[in-house]
């Protein structure tokens, strides 16, 4: 008799595998990346290419060492996504070795040493970002002004040249590229406000700087909006749920609004906080990393809200101008606890360990 082939139920599958999910997230960053290139030049593209190559090589070598199915693992695109997220988080013209070290750290240490995909406690991109920020503070804070107000414009070739040699093809270094049309060195809007506040200016006074366009940094606003668009597409396609980005933006808004209403001179408005820096990227692309985020519905709300809270706290009182990475890492550590106390009530059960009402 011929052997019948056997399988376990269900025999049906909706055909969306990890690789597909990860790829969709990658695609969703495209609007933001395009906007970034438009306003800040081609640097980001070079960082992305370097990061992805480093990630694939690192992951591939480790898979070979662990004797796993290398090709199959690489095809899950998780390494590509982690590299991509790190690349869009660092200054576009940072030296090549920064992103290479960072990506290697993200993949080899944060992800694989914890057991590989699914086992890492921390968000690899954010852990690597923090490592880079602490190790190479100068390179990691050399953000460029938008091209429209930069004294020196740079081409794709200039960007490549700068990333690999530190100088453009015409001999300018990053410091020189940072100089705006008014002759002063430019900083990010968040930096600018922080410095101004330290010097005794008000937020409103700080916002008169050339890098600002109303309350928002020139270029930064549109980059944020482009990432927001990509994020909303992810929610629409059910790749991520609204809970984490929703609660994160809501709590950041609420907290910054309260502070703003208390003292508008000392504390920036909610819109300033949302559309400057990487709050949008953080809310839709970083904090939603499934592996290191909370898994229950209520847990996700708490997780997101807490990140939003920490971001505003650190931005206002911390030593760093932006705080997504720190906030995410802090909450990564709290995930097991959150998950434990937010278990949903099972069908037919009375409330037990969960805090359900």
- 13 vs 67, beta carbon nearer other proteins: 13
CB 113 within 8 A of CB 138: no
Look at residue 286 and give its three-state secondary structure.
helix
Question: Which of 71, 262, 347, 355: binder of other proteins (CB under 8 A)?
Answer: 347
Structure tokens belonging to residue 100: 């290479």
**116 makes contact with other proteins (CB under 8 A):** yes
- 134 vs 345, beta carbon nearer other proteins: 345
**337 makes contact with other proteins (CB under 8 A):** no
What is the C-alpha separation between 116 and 290, in angstroms, rounded?
14
Structure tokens belonging to residue 94: 């940072």
Q: What's the gap between Cα 150 and its chain centre?
A: 25
Question: Which of 2, 199, 208, 357: binder of other proteins (CB under 8 A)?
Answer: 2
**349 makes contact with other proteins (CB under 8 A):** yes
**18 makes contact with other proteins (CB under 8 A):** yes
CA distances from 340 to 101, 111, 206 (A): 35, 23, 44
**8 makes contact with other proteins (CB under 8 A):** yes
What is the C-alpha separation between 155 and 178, in angstroms, rounded?
15
**278 makes contact with other proteins (CB under 8 A):** no
Question: Which of 171, 183, 200, 348: binder of other proteins (CB under 8 A)?
Answer: 348
147-186 mask for other proteins (x: CB under 8 A)?
----------------------------------------
Residue 21 CB, nearest approach to other proteins (Å) = 5
- Closest by CA to 117, choosing from 54, 53, 74, 88, is 74
**296 makes contact with other proteins (CB under 8 A):** yes
**117 makes contact with other proteins (CB under 8 A):** yes
User: CB count, 10 Å around CB of 153?
Assistant: 11
**204 makes contact with other proteins (CB under 8 A):** no
CA distances from 246 to 288, 290, 302 (A): 11, 15, 11
Q: Which listed range, 110-118, 155-163, 191-199, 210-218, lies at the site for other proteins (CB under 8 A)? A: 110-118
Kind and range of the H or E run holding 212 = strand 212-213
Residue 300 CB, nearest approach to other proteins (Å) = 8
Question: Which of 30, 97, 118, 265: binder of other proteins (CB under 8 A)?
Answer: 118
**14 makes contact with other proteins (CB under 8 A):** yes
CB 186 within 8 A of CB 144: yes
User: CB count, 10 Å around CB of 179?
Assistant: 16
Look at residue 240 and give its three-state secondary structure.
coil
In the block, which residue shows the tokens 């300033």? 272
- Asked, as a colleague might, if the bond just before 10 is cis with ω within 30 of 0, I would say yes
- 236 vs 345, beta carbon nearer other proteins: 345
Residues forming beta bridges with residue 179, ordered by sequence position:
185
Structure tokens belonging to residue 147: 């091209």
**66 makes contact with other proteins (CB under 8 A):** no
**357 makes contact with other proteins (CB under 8 A):** no
**20 makes contact with other proteins (CB under 8 A):** yes
**236 makes contact with other proteins (CB under 8 A):** no
- 1 vs 262, beta carbon nearer other proteins: 1
What is the C-alpha separation between 228 and 82, in angstroms, rounded?
19
Tabulate helix, strand, coil % of the chain (nearest 5).
60, 5, 35
- 116 vs 166, beta carbon nearer other proteins: 116
Residue 266 CB, nearest approach to other proteins (Å) = 40
- 22 vs 274, beta carbon nearer other proteins: 22
- 6 vs 138, beta carbon nearer other proteins: 6
CB 335 within 8 A of CB 289: no
Contacts to other proteins by CB under 8 A: 1-14, 16-18, 20-21, 72, 76, 78, 116-119, 241, 290-291, 293, 295-296, 339, 343-349
């Amino acid at each position: 008799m011929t052997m019948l082939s056997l399988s376990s139920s269900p025999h049906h599958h909706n055909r969306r595998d990890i690789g597909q999910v990860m790829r969709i997230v990658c695609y969703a960053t495209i609007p933001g990346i395009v906007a970034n290139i438009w306003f800040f030049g081609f640097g980001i593209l070079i960082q992305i290419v370097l990061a992805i190559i480093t990630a694939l090589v690192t992951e591939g070598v480790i898979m070979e060492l662990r004797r796993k199915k290398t090709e199959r693992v690489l095809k899950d695109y998780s390494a590509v996504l982690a590299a991509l997220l790190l690349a869009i988080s660092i200054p576009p013209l940072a030296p090549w070795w920064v992103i290479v070290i960072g990506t290697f750290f993200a993949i080899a240490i944060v992800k694989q040493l914890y057991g590989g995909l699914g086992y890492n406690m921390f968000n690899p991109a954010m852990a690597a970002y923090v490592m880079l920020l602490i190790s190479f503070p100068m390179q990691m804070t050399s953000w460029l002004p938008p091209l429209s107000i930069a004294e020196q414009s740079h081409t794709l070739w200039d960007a490549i040249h700068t990333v690999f040699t530190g100088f453009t093809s015409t001999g300018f270094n990053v410091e020189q590229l940072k100089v705006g049309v008014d002759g002063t060195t430019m900083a990010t809007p968040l930096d600018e406000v922080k410095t101004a506040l330290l010097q005794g200016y008000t937020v409103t006074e700080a916002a008169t700087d050339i890098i600002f366009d109303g309350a928002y940094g020139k270029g930064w606003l549109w980059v944020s909006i482009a990432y927001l668009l990509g994020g909303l597409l992810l929610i629409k396609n059910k790749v991520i749920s609204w809970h984490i980005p929703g609660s994160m933006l809501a709590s950041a808004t609420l907290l910054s609004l309260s502070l703003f209403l208390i003292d508008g001179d000392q504390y920036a408005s909610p819109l300033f906080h949302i559309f400057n820096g990487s709050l949008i990227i953080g809310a839709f692309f970083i904090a939603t990393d499934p592996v290191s985020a909370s898994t229950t519905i209520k847990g996700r709300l708490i997780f997101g809200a807490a990140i939003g809270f920490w971001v505003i706290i650190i931005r206002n009182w911390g030593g760093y101008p932006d705080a997504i990475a720190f906030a995410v890492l802090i909450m990564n550590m709290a995930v097991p606890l959150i998950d434990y106390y937010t278990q949903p009530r099972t069908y037919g059960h009375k409330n037990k360990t969960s805090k359900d009402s």
